[in-house]
């Protein structure tokens, strides 16, 4: 092969090497920067990202992948889609309104936030309703001009496709989608016409929603959208970009009048290659080959990637191929540089965003002349071989524990209907008990104390005393508010997954492996590189101390096996099911340690269980089955009087209520506040016979809701849920909130609970 294959990136991490983007946002929100200073810093960060990709030799560099908060929110604002409660009357949309939609303000709740497909990124859900879209600002055009003027880059504007935008939106019935698409098409045409007039050569139109399963109506809608665009904007090169799964039916997508189609060859299970081998590839289309994993952090097996490209080359000429990541690199950290605490044998097996760009260029060079890059290919080969041979990646003792899982009972000793009676006798809780989800505000002082301990400025004894002092204060705080079931506050924990990963075998931790979760919220996922195993109790010390400070019950707090899995970067040589089982076994040891220590109300959180749901409907039940099994492995052998709680957030659960019930937790809390009670519809349509708490206010917004607002949420829930099984709580942990707003909101919540108790007829109980 002698062709030079072009390298295209699909999106670059926004946050910066040292999270400069996050810090700029938060200083602006706090009033420490004015708007001009904020925008200037954002431009500097954006330019740095562009220059990094230019220096890496990327041929097609994405523009408009940069955002001040979220790219879906950007699209909604660009089209003038602003919910009526913000009282927008046209014209420019300033930062105050933009951030109000994301975070709420004093008079209006924030827009709903939910998962971006099956990732841990959250997007702001557009609320379309009866609004007529218009182009308030051509953001892709502005981004294109910025890249050209500031960095000399002929950028590739990235636009969310109309089909995907509508599938991600709310405020209309599915049957109305085609009609609403007609409203939006003139705006999309205008946007693309302006790009063409500017001289843009390629536009990346992201349509990840096409991988979730296309009906005949969906295919017809796609044909209508792209036929109208092709007729209105002839000559503009559009690559319709898919990712996260196989694009099916491929034959339908190949008929669309676009100049290129981008496919994920990493997470498609081999289906995309099979489809191309069956169908061939049209001579008039570019194939975007998503060959480097855009969602995980491991060095690629370059021999395997080149073998795949050799197969593709028999069906499509490589001069009509763009080499790409499988998705935007938004989902991985920026660079391995500076990870000096990671052992070299493991570090050499890592590839973050910048290193993935290097891999893409190396593959491109190898396709042109493999001999010229033989040394680089061999170095990559050797690094992977050394890493894969590590003994901790194949522990027989862990394999033996996994094999024993086949002998475990399927259920707890007593069914829930009988357990609830003995638990109520033991705990003697009031009707509609109040609690929180787990964490309390982590102030700068708390983070500073943890940093002093990590750096050795404080010894273990001093740090432990500091944590005990924080627990004392939060226990007193909760008692004064009148909460019924308390928590210890989690002041010793950085992140709900990282904390456990640090205490389990098989994990490693990076210094700067941060990724964006939502808005300025960044997480540093731990890395599962070897077999996961329990070492010693992880939470008993703090939980036992907290319980000793009050007569009220204090929940032990754990993160569940599937959430630990989904919020980690996971080794890629075992199935996710196998790794989840290893984590579940380790957590079972911790649950037993808590119970033995007298902590008999234990919350095993699974906020991420739904985000791992496969995008193809036919694959979902298998995932749910092994996810439920993993949860049960961690909790099945507790006493009947031990009450198991779990928590889930920001997901659509109406199609998995049965699986949630099968987890057999005694109490589950689920977010409903941002979705304005829509989840309650699921319980209006389906029976749920276990304890449940529907979050009555949104902790991701600084806004403090009134008692009346919470009461409305409670009243609606109690129309469909049994009062004796209903709990009242916030929708998520309180770590990111300030103490003043936390106190005000919880005080209102307790008052709303009291009102609800007074209105609840004894005959209903």
pLDDT, tens digit, 9 for 90 and up, residues 231-262: 999 999 999 999 999 999 999 999 999 999 99
Q: Residue 99: which residues within 8 A CB-CB, separation 6 or more?
A: 29, 68, 69
CA proximity to 121, closest of 14, 25, 205, 20: 14
> Given CA atoms 517, 522, 528, 532 in this order, what sign does their dihedral have?
negative
Residue pair 713/754 in contact (Cβ under 8 Å)? The answer is no
Considering the chain, tell me which residue range(s) the CATH 3.20.20.210 domain(s) occupy.
6-332+341-391, 420-759
Ramachandran bin of 561, using left for φ above 0, alpha for ψ from -120 to 50, beta for the remaining angles:
alpha
SS3 content of the chain, % helix, strand, coil (to 5): 45, 15, 40
Residue pair 244/327 in contact (Cβ under 8 Å)? The answer is yes
Report how far residue 592's alpha carbon sits from residue 283's, in angstroms, rounded to the nearest whole number.
62
Q: Is the peptide bond before 173 cis (omega within 30 degrees of 0)?
A: no
pTM of the full structure: 0.89
Length of the chain: 765
3-class DSSP state of 386: helix
CATH class of 420-759: alpha beta
The fold adopted by the segment(s) 6-332+341-391 is TIM Barrel (3.20.20)
Which of the residues are catalytic? 700
Q: What is the DSSP letter of 736?
A: T
Task: List Cα–Cα distances, 473 to 366, 460, 689, in angstroms.
Answer: 61, 20, 36
Would you state the torsion angle of the CA atoms of residues 339, 345, 346, 347, taken in this order, to the nearest 10 degrees? 30
Residue pair 491/446 in contact (Cβ under 8 Å)? The answer is yes
pLDDT at 654: 65
Report how far residue 488's alpha carbon sits from residue 595's, in angstroms, rounded to the nearest whole number.
16
Report how far residue 159's alpha carbon sits from residue 65's, in angstroms, rounded to the nearest whole number.
8
Residue pair 390/345 in contact (Cβ under 8 Å)? The answer is yes
Task: List Cα–Cα distances, 126 to 404, 421, 709, in angstroms.
Answer: 47, 44, 22
Report how far residue 335's alpha carbon sits from residue 236's, in angstroms, rounded to the nearest whole number.
34
Residue pair 432/485 in contact (Cβ under 8 Å)? The answer is no
3-class DSSP state of 609: coil
CA proximity to 356, closest of 329, 381, 383: 329
Can you say how many angstroms the Cα of residue 259 is from the centroid of all Cα atoms in its chain?
Answer: 31
Half-sphere exposure at residue 218, Cβ-oriented, CA atoms within 13 angstroms: 17
Q: Which residues of the chain register pLDDT less than 70?
A: 1-3, 649-654, 672-685, 761-765
Half-sphere exposure at residue 606, Cβ-oriented, CA atoms within 13 angstroms: 33
Residue pair 266/245 in contact (Cβ under 8 Å)? The answer is no
Report how far residue 187's alpha carbon sits from residue 165's, in angstroms, rounded to the nearest whole number.
13
């Amino acid at each position: 092969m002698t062709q030079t294959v072009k390298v295209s990136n699909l999106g670059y991490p926004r946050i910066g090497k040292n999270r400069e983007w996050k810090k700029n946002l938060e200083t602006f929100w706090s009033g420490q920067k004015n708007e001009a200073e904020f925008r200037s810093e954002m431009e500097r960060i954006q330019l740095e990202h562009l220059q990094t990709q230019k220096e890496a030799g990327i041929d097609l560099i994405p523009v408009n992948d940069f955002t001040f908060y979220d790219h879906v929110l950007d699209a909604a604002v660009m089209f003038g889609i602003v919910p009526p409660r913000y009282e927008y009357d046209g014209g420019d949309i300033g930062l105050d309104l933009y951030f109000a939609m994301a975070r709420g303000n004093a008079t209006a709740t924030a827009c709903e936030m939910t998962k971006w497909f099956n990732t841990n990124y959250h997007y702001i859900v557009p609320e379309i309703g009866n609004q007529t879209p218009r182009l308030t600002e051509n953001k892709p055009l502005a981004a294109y001009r910025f890249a050209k003027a500031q960095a000399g880059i002929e950028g590739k504007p990235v636009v969310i496709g109309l089909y995907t935008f509508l599938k991600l939106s709310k405020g209309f019935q599915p049957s109305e989608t085609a009609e609403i698409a007609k409203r939006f098409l003139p705006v999309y045409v205008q946007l693309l016409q302006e790009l063409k007039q500017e001289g843009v050569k390629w536009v990346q139109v992201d349509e990840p929603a096409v991988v979730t399963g296309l009906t005949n109506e969906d295919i017809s809608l796609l044909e209508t959208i792209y036929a109208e665009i092709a007729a209105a904007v002839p000559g503009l090169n559009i690559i319709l970009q898919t990712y996260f799964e196989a694009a099916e039916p491929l034959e339908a997508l190949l008929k669309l009048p676009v100049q290129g189609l981008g496919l994920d060859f990493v997470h498609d299970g081999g289906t995309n290659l099979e489809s191309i081998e069956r169908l061939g590839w049209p001579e008039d289309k570019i194939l975007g080959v998503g060959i480097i994993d855009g969602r995980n952090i491991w060095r690629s097996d370059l021999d395997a990637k080149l073998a795949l490209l050799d197969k593709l080359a028999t069906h499509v000429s490589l001069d009509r191929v763009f080499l790409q990541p499988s998705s935007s690199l938004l989902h991985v950290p920026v660079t391995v540089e500076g990870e000096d605490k990671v052992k070299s044998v493991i570090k050499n097996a890592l590839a973050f965003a910048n290193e993935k760009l290097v891999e893409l260029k190396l593959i491109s060079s190898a396709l042109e002349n493999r001999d010229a890059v033989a040394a680089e290919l061999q170095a990559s080969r050797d690094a992977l071989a050394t890493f894969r041979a590590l003994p901790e990646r194949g522990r027989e003792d862990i394999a033996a524990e996994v094999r024993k899982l086949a002998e475990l009972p399927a259920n707890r000793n007593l069914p829930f209907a009988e357990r609830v009676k003995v638990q109520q006798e033991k705990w003697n809780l009031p009707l509609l008990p109040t609690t929180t989800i787990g964490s309390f505000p982590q102030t700068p002082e708390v983070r500073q104390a943890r940093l002093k301990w990590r750096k050795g400025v404080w010894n273990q004894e001093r740090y432990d005393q500091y944590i005990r002092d924080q627990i004392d204060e939060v226990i007193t705080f909760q008692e004064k508010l009148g909460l019924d079931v308390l928590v210890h506050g989690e002041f010793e924990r950085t992140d709900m997954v990282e904390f456990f990963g640090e205490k389990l075998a098989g994990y490693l931790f990076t210094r700067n492996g941060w990724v964006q979760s939502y808005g300025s919220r960044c997480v540093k996922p731990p890395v599962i590189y070897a077999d996961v195993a329990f070492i010693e109790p992880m939470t008993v010390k703090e939980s036992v101390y907290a319980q000793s400070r009050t007569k009220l019950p204090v929940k032990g707090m754990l993160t569940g096996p599937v959430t630990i899995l989904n919020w980690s970067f996971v080794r890629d040589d075992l199935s996710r099911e196998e790794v989840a089982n290893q984590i579940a076994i380790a957590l079972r040891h911790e649950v037993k340690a808590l119970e033995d220590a007298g902590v008999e109300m234990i919350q095993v959180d699974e906020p991420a269980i739904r985000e791992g749901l496969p995008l193809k409907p036919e694959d979902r039940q298998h995932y749910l089955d092994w996810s439920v099994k993993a949860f049960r492995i961690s909790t099945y052998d507790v006493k009947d009087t031990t009450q198991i709680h779990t928590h889930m957030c920001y997901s659509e659960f109406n199609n998995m209520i049965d699986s949630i019930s099968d987890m057999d937790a005694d109490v589950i809390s689920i977010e409903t506040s941002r979705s304005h009670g829509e989840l309650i519809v699921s319980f209006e349509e389906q029976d749920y016979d276990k304890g449940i708490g529907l979050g009555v206010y949104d902790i991701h917004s600084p806004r403090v809701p009134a008692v009346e607002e919470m009461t409305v949420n409670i009243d609606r829930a109690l129309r469909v849920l049994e009062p004796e099984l209903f709990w009242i709580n916030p929708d998520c942990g309180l770590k990111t909130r300030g103490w003043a707003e936390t106190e005000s909101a919880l005080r209102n919540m307790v008052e709303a609970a009291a009102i609800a108790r007074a209105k609840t007829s004894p005959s209903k109980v």
